[in-house]
Chains A and B, each alone.
Chain A
Amino acid sequence: MQRLLPTLALLAALQAVAAPAPALPAEGSAQLELDISLGHESSSSPLVRVSDSGALVAVPGLSRLAGTVGRASVNASAEGVLTGDLRWTATGVVDARPSRDAPGLGFQLGLADGALRWPLAGGTLGLGPSVLALSVGGRAFRQTAAMHLDWMRAPTEGLVQVWRIDLARHRHAADFSDLDAEVVAPSCNWQWAEPGLGLSKLDLGWGLRSERNRQGLPELSNRGAHLLGELGWDALGTAWSLNLMLQRTVFAAAVSPDLPARRDTLVAVDLSAQWRLAEHLDLRASVGTARNRARPWLYENRHSHAELGLSAHW
């Protein structure tokens, strides 16, 4: 009760500044998207062996995974009115990427996300839980339980701004339980529709991230920041999208005295082209590459992909 009263007082204060309330749809809605694709992926990293004395020794060549990867995903979202201005939203996702050639590239994801939204200070505030399960290489890898708080507003026509903070707890399968961690991740996204210069879309995002290892292993705790950018344009009857991601991660301590504390710099770029086949059906092709430069070098890796797929949406 001692915690509940201040919380209610805070909510009441927030409600007091709710005017002017933005108009929201009077009715609920639902959206469903299905996606299937086939592509090729490769991932490589340095080869390392341990000498008789326990030292790490680089082996010429690379450890490489490559193969054909299929993909199927379902994304369903819905929203409705609870009472007055209070609304609910729900999102569910299942995403599977099996690979017969290289099972290590296999990846599965399941997500359930819910939130309550209400008008606040010219935008809408959302608060809710989410659970996420990841499987990598055919094995359960991570479960994440999180709470998120976000505030969305559309200050001018064609511009949408969202500020968001996630508080998450990662739990891992037994073999990876040393990775259990708590994460605080504030982020922001600004999105412009028809911003000019021939663009159909401009999307900028940035965020911070602090991960604290729950097993007391400082070499696995880290802090990071990222930038996201997307340019969209229409040309030659095709909707093009160019995406860029930059990410910097600094770990709290070295894994051993003879190695520096790990620092990663990740750059990822991809390009997609999309064609409208029918009112609810698109054909999409995409290529992309990501490179992680790291210190020490044993954490460096590269990843690339190319795929062709169909996307249906209602």
Chain B
Amino acid sequence: MTRIARITLATSTALALLGAMHTSAVARAASNPGGGLICYNYPTVAADGKVTYTRVCFKRP
């Protein structure tokens, strides 16, 4: 791969991934894991037996 091709490749990758990560508020507030975060619902049970689901978000690997 040529030097210029490598530079272009790395630059375009940075742009693509930056555009893909911007919506962290959306990912957390709603359902979208597209913003660089992936959100999962974890079930937990309170002392009174009530089941609640906690949304926990992680950055995509």
The answer for the CA separation of A113 and B39 in the assembled complex, in Å, is 11
The answer for the CA separation of A183 and B13 in the assembled complex, in Å, is 16
B30 touching A282 by the CB < 8 A rule? yes
The answer for the CA separation of A151 and B40 in the assembled complex, in Å, is 13
Q: How far is the CB of B11 from chain A (nearest CB, A)?
A: 6
Interface of B is mostly: mixed
A258 (CB) vs chain B CBs: closest residue: B3
A284 touching B54 by the CB < 8 A rule? no
Q: How far is the CB of A289 from chain B (nearest CB, A)?
A: 8
Write out the residue numbers on chain B whose beta carbons fall within 8 Å of the beta carbon of A274. 29-30
Interface residues of B in 23-61 (CB under 8 A from A): 23-26, 28-34, 37-47, 49, 51, 53-54, 56-61
Write out the residue numbers on chain A whose beta carbons fall within 8 Å of the beta carbon of B10. 219-220, 255, 262, 299
Interface residues of A in 260-305 (CB under 8 A from B): 262, 264, 266, 268, 270-272, 274, 282, 284, 286, 288, 290, 292, 294, 298-299, 301, 303-305
Given the contacts A25-B43, A162-B42, A288 and B19 also touching, CB distance less than 8 Å: no
Write out the residue numbers on chain B whose beta carbons fall within 8 Å of the beta carbon of A33. 30-31
The answer for the CA separation of A33 and B41 in the assembled complex, in Å, is 12
Q: Which of B4, B16, B47, B57 has the most CB of A within 10 A?
A: B16
Write out the residue numbers on chain A whose beta carbons fall within 8 Å of the beta carbon of B7. 48, 56, 255-256, 298
The answer for the CA separation of A34 and B31 in the assembled complex, in Å, is 7
Quick one: which of A97, A160, A209, A290 contacts B34, CB cutoff 8 A? Answer: A97
B49 (CB) vs chain A CBs: closest residue: A23
Write out the residue numbers on chain B whose beta carbons fall within 8 Å of the beta carbon of A22. 44-45
B46 touching A245 by the CB < 8 A rule? no
The answer for the CA separation of A71 and B59 in the assembled complex, in Å, is 20
B: number of interface residues (CB 8 Å): 49
Write out the residue numbers on chain A whose beta carbons fall within 8 Å of the beta carbon of B38. 93, 111, 113
The answer for the CA separation of A136 and B11 in the assembled complex, in Å, is 14
Interface size range of chain A in the complex? 35 or more
A255 touching B33 by the CB < 8 A rule? no
Q: How far is the CB of B24 from chain A (nearest CB, A)?
A: 5
Quick one: which of B40, B45, B59 contacts A24, CB cutoff 8 A? Answer: B45
A41 touching B19 by the CB < 8 A rule? yes
Quick one: which of A41, A166, A176, A272 contacts B22, CB cutoff 8 A? Answer: A41
Write out the residue numbers on chain A whose beta carbons fall within 8 Å of the beta carbon of B49. 23
Besides A209-B59, A230-B28, A255-B6, 7 other A-B contacts (C-beta < 8 A): A35-B31, A73-B32, A109-B34, A207-B58, A255-B3, A270-B26, A301-B18
Chain A residues close to B by CB (< 8 Å): 22-25, 29, 31, 33-35, 37, 41, 43, 45, 48, 50, 54, 56, 65, 71, 73-75, 77, 79, 89, 91, 93, 95, 97, 105, 107, 109, 111, 113, 132, 134, 136-137, 141, 144, 146, 152, 154, 157, 160, 162, 164, 166-168, 176, 178-179, 183, 185, 187, 189, 191, 193, 203, 205, 207, 209, 217, 219-220, 226, 228, 230, 239, 241-243, 245, 255-256, 262, 264, 266, 268, 270-272, 274, 282, 284, 286, 288, 290, 292, 294, 298-299, 301, 303-305, 307, 309, 311, 313
